Amino acid sequence: MKRSFLWVVWLAVLFNGAVGQADGGAVARIGASSEFVELSHQIEGRTTVDLLPLHRAGDVRYFSAGIGLEERAAQYPPFSLKLVFTAGGKPFLSGVSVAIQPVKGGAVVTIPQEQVEGPWLFVDLAPGVYNVTAIHRDRKQGLTGIAVEAGKQKTFHLRWSEDRGLAGALPPE
């Protein structure tokens, strides 16, 4: 099942009052198969596990999260880079494509918008200095000279002034 479908189902249940507050803190860890990040949390005394796809681009692992209260409150694996996407009055934005280029040369990590289903993108980069380019619709944001250190997570926000939505994709009349 796609996460977007699960998100819609979760919202429907929430608005119908069937879900209470989480009884315990959410914890995310890399699953045994290394294909998913397992997000474990408590709802009404029961443990629920959601699976977030863990992607790879060469040797670099990454995943997207931040949808819903449980995902925003969870403790995640210590990936070295966390990108947070926002636009206009929306607190969060998804569907952003990302390219990460090592400053000293090397393979570009390309992350397609289809794999960024949430507003947070966690990337497990090797220590070094990187330039990041993020594109939402036709607008680009960039970060240069990001120094990634072993054992430390750096968080950066990429903000677009507005989210033009589907109307922004249409040519003016």
Supply φ then ψ for residue 14, to 5 degrees. -60, -50
Question: In Å, how far from its chain's centre is CA 15?
Answer: 24
Contact 96, 136 (CB under 8 A): yes
Question: In Å, how far from its chain's centre is CA 4?
Answer: 13
| Side-chain half-sphere exposure of 165, counting CA atoms within 13 A | 4
The sheet that has 22-30: what strands, in order across it?
Answer: 22-30, 36-43, 46-53
Strand partners, 159: 86
> Which domains, from first to last, does the chain contain?
3-162 (2.60.40.10)
Tell me what pLDDT residue 163 has: 60
The Cα–Cα gap between 75 and 29 comes to 9
**Among 14-23, 48-57, 98-107, 144-153, where is mean pLDDT lowest?**
14-23
| 64-112 residue pLDDT tens | 999 988 899 899 999 999 999 998 876 688 999 999 999 999 999 999 9
Contact 40, 27 (CB under 8 A): yes
Which whole-number Å values give the CA distances from 122 to 8, 10, 17, 89, in the listed order?
Answer: 23, 23, 31, 23
| Three-state SS at 12 | helix
Tell me what pLDDT residue 24 has: 55
Which whole-number Å values give the CA distances from 137 to 4, 97, 140, in the listed order?
Answer: 19, 9, 8
**Short-list 105, 112, 129, 118, CA closest to 70:** 118
The pair of three-digit structure tokens given for residue 155, joined into one six-digit string? 């968080």
| 112-169 residue pLDDT tens | 999 999 999 999 999 999 999 999 988 999 999 999 999 999 999 999 987 655 444 4
Which whole-number Å values give the CA distances from 97 to 74, 123, 156, in the listed order?
Answer: 24, 13, 15
